[in-house]
Every structure is written in structure tokens, then in C-alpha cells.
Structure 1
Amino acid sequence: MATNLGGLVKRLQDIMRNDPGINGDAQRIEQIIWALFLKVYDAKEEDWEMDEDDYHSIIPEPYRWQNWAHDDGTGTAYTGEELLEFVNDLFTVLKNLSITPDMPKKKRIVKTMFEETNQYMKDGVLLRQVINVIDDIDLESYDNMHALGDIYETILKELQSAGRAGEFYTPRAVTDFMADRIEPHLGERMADFACGTGGFLVSWLRELEKQIAAPDDRALWNHSVYGIEKKQFPYMLAITNLLLHGVDNPDIDHGNSLLHDVLDYTEKDKFDKILMNPPYGGSEKKDVMSHFPDDLADSETADLFMSVILYRLKQGGRAAVVLPDGFLFGTDNTKVNIKKKLMAECDLHTIVRLPGSVFAPYTSITTNILFFDRTHPTEKIWFYRLDMPEGYKHFSKTKPMRLEHFDPVKAWWDDRQEILEGDFPKAKCYTIDEIAAGGYNLDLCGFPHEEEEILEPMELIQKYQEQRKSLNDDIDKILARITAKLEDNA
């Protein structure tokens, strides 16, 4: 009987916590991913061998999962030092596979998956236990594959508390909302030029899958997304993510979207839809900025990605992009030039201001979703401020943002009205003339904030003294109760 999927991640993590070579969640997750990839890839290869008469695996026979990973209980399966030596050889073989540009991407991804991947475990017996748990997963049924895809999401959520790995994960609620609003259609191609773990690609595929009614539709669906990711760890996660969600030939490149002259893009390099949460807060070097026209060359990573999007969105195409507040209120020459280009070439029709802590604990930077179509120049922009849900002070790992938290903006979307709450507009429309008159500052419909109370110095000192006395009184009361309890138990 196949392993119970419900406790899969916990069982694997419990095993690896006893291994002296593993240090922290990020390494545990990387260990799970390379083994899970080989397991899933092996299942895909079985299908390809049945469907394609001339299919030959790129992985040499001794190193295919089916030929070494299964433990039939007879004592012949690799374990201990022998398994560690075999896996080290496996990594060497896969890192050095011979690939060619004309080779199908589903074969080339094996080499790129392992080029910078590490095997951290030092205890071969524990490694055998990990391999056994993963090998015991039943991938024969669609339901099991679907369930494993959902479990994979829990692995990706763990990244938010696994150091900087969290920067590559956008909460499912955000990606699903954006995919829904951008309205996927069969036959279209969608791209994410910094795809991280593939969240936007999967949300698009799930939304698009509702339209599949024939075998030809499945083929269109299977080739509808493109991603590129420059860092190895999230690239691994994205490839495995798409395989688990049924994509046979994941069209994801391992590279940097910013290292290409934007003026060289042709029509074949453009896409119908673009969904992105570009990296922000980073500072790019001059060699990266040299790929952009002088008036758009900014060291801020998010700004450069906005330029890439503008050069790669088809005429008639639609985009939804997460950007930090800095892009909205920035009035330096480059940011203004990018915003002018955006509004001159596209209809920037909606900006949704997201509540704080959506990306907690990775970052507390306030973010926004920009929705625009490459149809005509911007004439007006609607702003909608999405407030924190009732009962929430902030989002967290245990209380993340959920898709239903977008219900207010969904209800407003098709029947747009200006909304005023107190002195702060919650939804408001501005014309392009008003935007231009304001220096292209898009920091509008902000969140209410408490007015700062400015006191005279002596008044301020008195206030602090009163607060300290009140705090000391509270501490004294608590200590008195503790002392009384101790005396009663003496």
C-alpha cells in the first residue's frame, strides 16, 4: 500500500533531523526535492515510453529511479555507505549529462536540475529511509498525483520560514486572485520572468484547466506557460511543481531575464499574458543595466523587470504584477520614465493596494498589484485599497492570507464605485491628467494611519514618566500574585 500522503513531509523531516549532514529546513527541503523529482520523473518516463515508440531516457539505465531506489525487502537494495557512494556517483553522472539545444526540454531539465544541487545526508541508513518513503508514494492515480501537488504546496509554504528561500514564494491566495482577474484562455501563452517556485504558473494552469474539453485542449494547456528563474534552488522547486501538476514538458529556463538586451526582443519573444511578482529591493550592477535604454536603466531590480514586461507583452495582451510602494511613489527620473512608458503604451486600469504582512515573515514591505492591458494608452486609473480582514491584526504562517480575503475587491471589480471611509478614499478613480499633474506619483488610496502626536519636551517627559509608572504598577501586581501563589504552595 502506498505511503499515506498526509504526513509525508513530517515523516521525511523527522528522519533527516537525525542526520549530522543536514542543517536547517532549507537543506531538508532541497533533499526532499531532488529525490521527489527523480521519483516523479520516473513515473513520467513510463508514460512517455508508452506514448512514444522511439523514447529513450537521458538517464543511464543503472541510475534511473526504478533500477536502484526500490527496496523489495530482500536485503539487496543499496543502503549505508554503499548507498551514499552510489548517490554521489548518481549526482556526478546527472551533472555531466550531454545535452544539445535541439533536445526536448523534458530531457534537458535533468541536467539543469542537478547542476548546482547538493546531497547533504551523511548517514546512508537514514538516506535509505528517506528514499523508501518517497519511493512508496503511489503516482498511478490522478487523485494521488493531485494530492501530492497539494502537499508540495505545504513544502513551498515552509520556505517562508527557511531563511531567504521565502523570497521565491508568493502566497497562493495572491497568485490565484491574479490568475483569475487576468482571465486565461486556451491558446494563450503566459510568462513569469522571475518565476521562483512556479506559483503563478500553477495558478494559471489551474484556472485554465477548467476550459479543457478535448484532448487537443490538453495539449494547448500543457504548452501554455513559460518561466525563467536564475537561482538553482527555486528553479528545482518550479520544475518539480509543474511535473506534479501534470505538465509533461516544463518550459522553464535556468537563467536571468535581465541579461538580455530588451531592444532585441521580437514578436516571437512576446506573450499574451504576464503574471509576476518581480524581486524587489535588490540593486543591479552596471553590466545588467547596460541591457536597457539609458532612460529606463535603473539599479532597482523591480524597475528593470517592469521594463522587461513592457518589451515582452503582446499587443492586446494583459498583465498583473506585484510591485512595492517604492515604485508607486518614486519620482526619480528613471521611475517616472518607466511609469510614463507604461501609461503611454498600456491601459493601466487598476491598482490594488494589498494590506501589510501579506508576505510575512519574509518581508513587511507594503505591496500593490498593477493590472494593465496593451490595448491603448491609459486614460484613467482605479485604485482599490484592500484592508486587513476583520479579526486580523496581521497575516502570519498560521493565519495566512486566503483567497476569500479578496472577495471585497472581486465584488467591487465589475461595478466600480468610489468609496470613502472617513477622510481616506478606499476606492477612487484618477484621470491621466491628474496623475501627470501629480508628477506620476501613484501612491494614492493609502492606508489610514494614526496621526503622530507632537508634544512639548516637558510634556513628553511627563507622559513617559506616567507610562513607566503604569507599567511598573502592572509588574508589581503580577509579582505580588506570583509571590502569593508560591506562599500558598509552601
Structure 2
Amino acid sequence: MITGELRSKVDKIWEIFWTGGLTNPLEVIEQFTYLLFIKGLDEVETRNEAEATLLGVPYDRIFNDEQQHIRWSKFANEGNAEKMYDIVLNEVFPFIKKLHGNKESAYAKYMGDAIFKIPTPLMLSKIVDGINNLNLKKDKDTKGDLYEYLLSKVATAGTNGQFRTPRHIIDMIVKLMKPAPEDIIVDPAAGSAGFLVSSQQYLRDNHPDLFLVQGLKKHFNNDMFYGFDMDRTMLRIGAMNMMLHGVDNPNIEYKDSLSESNTDKDKFTLVLANPPFKGSLDYEAVSADLLKVTKTKKTELLFLALFLRSLKVGGRCASIVPDGVLFGSTKGHKDIRKEIVENHKLEAIISMPSGVFKPYAGVSTAIMIFTKTNTGGTDKVWFYDMKADGYSLDDKRNEIEDNDIDDIIERFNNLDKEVDRKRTEQSFFVDVEEIRENGYDLSINKYKEIVYEEVVYDEPQVIMRRVKELEKEIASGLEELERMLEV
């Protein structure tokens, strides 16, 4: 998360966009991203040049001899704003749109219809100067943090109830699931690709050796990450987000995940998602395979059926769901819960406080974690009652000390130590038989035991005596005050 001076500088650049007439937050992010990407290309080229000179070896050049003037370090120092604008509009932008030779790549597909929207040379000059003044650090993922901050400015929910998942919640879920170098990871409602970005960073931090194995490196860059969405703007942002984080060819695709056109089956090993909650669809538009599992129009239930179909046997899923999924009484609600509990292995329900998604939404949510088995396997389910996530649970979401995230990760990774925990504690196990007896209700409040402390009050006569004593003290004080005023 960016703070302080850097945040202030980003806000000033945002204000330049705003006052210049670009007021759609997604358009601002797009234009900002293009310029960051252009600057990043020049930085990569400069680094490659230095390494090639040091080692005396050739390298694949991004810019040829005739294209040196379109590098960021060249045009950004152009004294004439009109000339800079002409170079960016007519040379740099067409260059990045055609940069990726593979026409089927996410980059090529979603950059192909990208439009340069900065309207004036003066505005471009101010923005370029502002980006140069950011001084993004090379020793940490500041670009990623910067990008997350930009995305946080998209404060309106989408038409299907979509809203941004906080980065720290995404990171927690990824750490719970521990992506492996061989995984095939999908987010069927990817948006800006936050789960995929966090997954690739987890792999870099915990499995750096995968880049030394040619097969795994190729898998990482081409066949590991899949993200689907129906908003082309979000697809473009998601593809750029992944590329800015070093994934060469992510599979970011336009796809209605719940429709008949999506035929993905037994394909992925890990699902990470926060699917739309409020959407309601026509039966005719939904894949028949999903309706067989849960006949409903509710997207949050249909997505769970989709996850089961899309996963390979042994594949795992961690999805954010609204609380209603856990205790809803309709046949559709009960059917999907029974399917997961009886035919697969439900592992954990992590209840989150309702303020986690503020200011975008106040809905109460939970994280559901399960493994596809097709043969059952649920014996007991781990419940955790998250009370704090490190931020205040109001619209301001200021940082606070209370934070259960590290405790959740630690306990989930050591479930053998949770067996003897009591229902009065923050986490505990519930046997599957008890869940069956309760109609597959998965809400933590169904099983949590609350200890009520008996409060003993004084006798009424004692309380009245104290009230009278207080009245005497007040009267005495008023008399003393009157005497002081008469002096």
C-alpha cells in the first residue's frame, strides 16, 4: 500500500487527468497504465543494455536503431510539448499496440482496441513529469502497490454487483491456498486480475527456483494463469496488470463464465475468486450442467457449481461468498451446500466482518475452501470467526492494530492443533454429522457457543442511596460556585 509523499504525488497526477476532462476512473487508470508500461519498457531495455555490455552477450532488443527516439527517456526530456505529444500519439502508442507478435495473446487482443485519450500536449507533459517524479523503487513491488491504489479509486459497484476485493484479503486467501509451480489457476470473474497477480507474487517469493526450470518457467508465463470477465475495459486492465507484474502471456479472456459457451471442465487445479453476488440470470442463458447441480438464478450459487465443474479431481477452491450462501433456505442454496459437503471435501469456512468491503459494500461475507473429490471426504469443517482485518470497519477503513489475518493463516496451516478447541473460541471444528443434522447450514453462528457472564447489580436501596449522595455533592458544588461568583 502506498502512503505519504508517493500517494500525494499520485493524487496530483490523478487531478491533472480530472481537470483535463478525463473523469471516468477506469479511463484514467487505462491511460495511466499505458504510460507506466511505456516507461517500464524503456527501463527493461536500459537494464538489458547494461547487462549485455557487462557480459559481452547479445540480447533481444525492444527498440531498434530507428526507434530510439520513442523510448521514454528520450521523449520525456523533449522540451517541446507539442513534439512530445506527436511522438506519443503517432509513434509510441501504435508501437505498444503492436508490440506483442502473438495475435492470440491477451495483450494483443485487448490492446488492439485501446485508444489514447489524453487530449492536449500540455496535459501529457504535466502527466509525464508527474510520473518521472514518482521515483518508483526498484527493490519492492511499488508498481503493483501503485496499481492497487489506482484501482481503489474505482468506488462504484458494477451492474452485476462486482466490487474490488481488498488487496490484503486477496493476499490472505493466496497464502491460505499456497499456489504451487505446477498449478493451473483460474479466476472466472477476474476483474483487474488481483488474485492472479497475488498468486504470481507468491510463487516468486516462495518458489524462485521455478524460473530455473525451463518447463516450469514456460508454464508460468503461458499456461498457469486464466482470468475471465465480460467487461473489455477490465480485461485490458487485468492483462496490463499481469504484464506489469512480469507474466508474459496470461490467458485473460472475454467469457461469460456461467453461459453454455463456457465449456471448461476438469481443467484447473486452483480456483481463486470473488464472484458477483447480486446478479440474477435467465435460466436459458445459464449452462445446463450448472443448473443440474443447483437450479437457481442466483449467480453466487451458480459460480460454486461452475468451480466444481471446472476443477480437476483433487483441485482446490477458495471463494468469497455472501453469508446468505451459508444459511439460505431455498432449494438452490441447500442443494449446492449438500453437493460440496457430501460429494466433495469442504475444509473451511472463514467468516469475515461486514466492513471488509466498505466503502463499496457492507455485505457480510465468508471464505469457503473446498477440494473437488467426486467421492466425498468431508469429515469435519474448520470454522474461524474473523473479527478484524487490520482496518477500521467503517467507510474510512483506517489502519488499526487489531488484525486476525496472521492468526488465520497460522491456524489453517496447523489444523491438527485445532482439534481440541472449544466452540467458545475464535476457531473450532464441527463434525460433518452435525452439519447434516442442521440441514447443511454453514453459518458460524449456528455452531458457535457464546458464554454469557452473569452481571450482579446492587440492591435498589443501595443504588438510591448513592444517587442521593451524588445529588448532595452536586448541590454543594453549585453553592460553592455561587459564592465564588458573588465575590
Shorter-chain TM range is 0.7 to 0.9
Which of the residues 321, 324, 329 maps onto 2:322?
324
C-alpha contact (below 8 Å) 2:271/2:317 kept by paired residues = yes
TM-aligned CA distance change 1:94 to 1:177, over 3 Å: closer
The Cα RMSD (Å) is 4.1
Which of the residues 189, 195, 217 maps onto 2:190?
195
CA distance in 2, matches of 1:74, 1:389: 48
State the AA in 2 paired with 1:418. R
Which of the residues 274, 279, 282 maps onto 1:277?
274
CA distance in 2, matches of 1:26, 1:321: 25
Match of 1:387 in 2: 387
Match of 2:422 in 1: 419
CA distance in 1, matches of 2:430, 2:58: 56
CA distance in 1, matches of 2:371, 2:84: 56
C-alpha contact (below 8 Å) 1:15/1:126 kept by paired residues = yes
CA deviations 1:75-123 (Å, max 9, x no partner) are 385357x68xx7499889988x7999x7451xx52341353x5555433
State the AA in 2 paired with 1:33. T
C-alpha contact (below 8 Å) 1:261/1:291 kept by paired residues = no
Match of 1:475 in 2: none
TM-aligned CA distance change 1:142 to 1:288, over 3 Å: farther
Structure 1 residue 316: deviation in Å? 1.5
CA deviations 1:360-389 (Å, max 9, x no partner) are 111111000011122451222222211236
- The answer to whether structure 1 residue 182 and structure 2 residue 185 are counterparts is no
Greater alpha carbon shift after TM alignment, 236-245 vs 309-318: 236-245
* Superposition map of 1:84-95 within 5 A: 87=89
Structure 1 residue 126: deviation in Å? 0.9
C-alpha contact (below 8 Å) 1:26/1:162 kept by paired residues = no
C-alpha contact (below 8 Å) 2:187/2:196 kept by paired residues = yes
CA distance in 2, matches of 1:152, 1:42: 19
Match of 1:464 in 2: none
CA distance in 2, matches of 1:357, 1:384: 17
C-alpha contact (below 8 Å) 2:278/2:298 kept by paired residues = yes
Structure 1 residue 277: deviation in Å? 0.9
Percent identical among aligned pairs is 26
State the AA in 2 paired with 1:325. D
* Superposition map of 1:9-408 within 5 A: 9-19=10-20, 21-23=21-23, 25-40=25-40, 66=71, 70-75=75-80, 78=83, 87=89, 103=103, 105=105, 108-113=106-111, 115=113, 117=114, 119-134=116-131, 142-143=138-139, 146-159=141-154, 161=155, 164=158, 167-209=162-204, 210-213=206-209, 215-216=212-213, 218-223=217-222, 224-260=224-260, 264-267=263-266, 270-295=267-292, 296-375=294-373, 376-377=375-376, 378-388=378-388, 394-399=393-398, 404-408=403-407
State the AA in 1 paired with 2:301. D
C-alpha contact (below 8 Å) 2:75/2:84 kept by paired residues = no
CA deviations 1:233-284 (Å, max 9, x no partner) are 322322222122221222211332223456x4444xx111111111111112
CA distance in 2, matches of 1:142, 1:68: 17
CA distance in 1, matches of 2:39, 2:248: 14
CA deviations 1:10-43 (Å, max 9, x no partner) are 2311322331x22254443333123334444566
C-alpha contact (below 8 Å) 1:426/1:445 kept by paired residues = no
CA distance in 2, matches of 1:448, 1:368: 19
State the AA in 1 paired with 2:282. K
Instruction: State the SS of the aligned residue for 1:203.
Output: helix
State the AA in 2 paired with 1:323. V
C-alpha contact (below 8 Å) 1:379/1:432 kept by paired residues = yes
TM-aligned CA distance change 1:274 to 1:128, over 3 Å: same
TM-aligned CA distance change 1:99 to 1:176, over 3 Å: closer
CA distance in 2, matches of 1:198, 1:233: 12
Write out the 4+ residue segments of structure 1 that deviate beyond 6 Å after TM superposition: 44-57, 61-64, 88-95, 97-100, 135-139, 446-449
C-alpha contact (below 8 Å) 1:358/1:400 kept by paired residues = no
CA distance in 2, matches of 1:39, 1:259: 39
C-alpha contact (below 8 Å) 1:230/1:256 kept by paired residues = yes
C-alpha contact (below 8 Å) 2:42/2:72 kept by paired residues = no
State the AA in 1 paired with 2:77. D
CA distance in 1, matches of 2:227, 2:188: 6
State the AA in 1 paired with 2:14. Q
TM-score, normalized by length of structure 2?
Answer: 0.73
CA deviations 1:59-78 (Å, max 9, x no partner) are xx989953998143353853
CA distance in 1, matches of 2:357, 2:30: 22
CA distance in 1, matches of 2:69, 2:298: 44
State the AA in 2 paired with 1:175. I
Structure 1 residue 398: deviation in Å? 4.1
Match of 2:470 in 1: none
CA deviations 1:156-200 (Å, max 9, x no partner) are 2233x3565994421122111111111222222211111111211
State the AA in 1 paired with 2:311. L
C-alpha contact (below 8 Å) 2:227/2:252 kept by paired residues = yes
**For the pair shown, which has the larger CA radius of gyration, 1 or 2?**
2
TM-aligned CA distance change 1:55 to 1:309, over 3 Å: farther
Unaligned runs of 5+ in 2: 453-487
State the AA in 1 paired with 2:142. A
TM-aligned CA distance change 1:445 to 1:138, over 3 Å: same
TM-aligned CA distance change 1:228 to 1:290, over 3 Å: closer
Greater alpha carbon shift after TM alignment, 61-70 vs 10-19: 61-70
TM-aligned CA distance change 1:257 to 1:62, over 3 Å: farther
C-alpha contact (below 8 Å) 2:192/2:238 kept by paired residues = yes
C-alpha contact (below 8 Å) 1:167/1:362 kept by paired residues = no
Match of 2:433 in 1: 433
TM-aligned CA distance change 1:407 to 1:17, over 3 Å: same
CA distance in 1, matches of 2:163, 2:291: 29
Greater alpha carbon shift after TM alignment, 165-174 vs 376-385: 165-174
Instruction: State the SS of the aligned residue for 2:71.
Output: helix
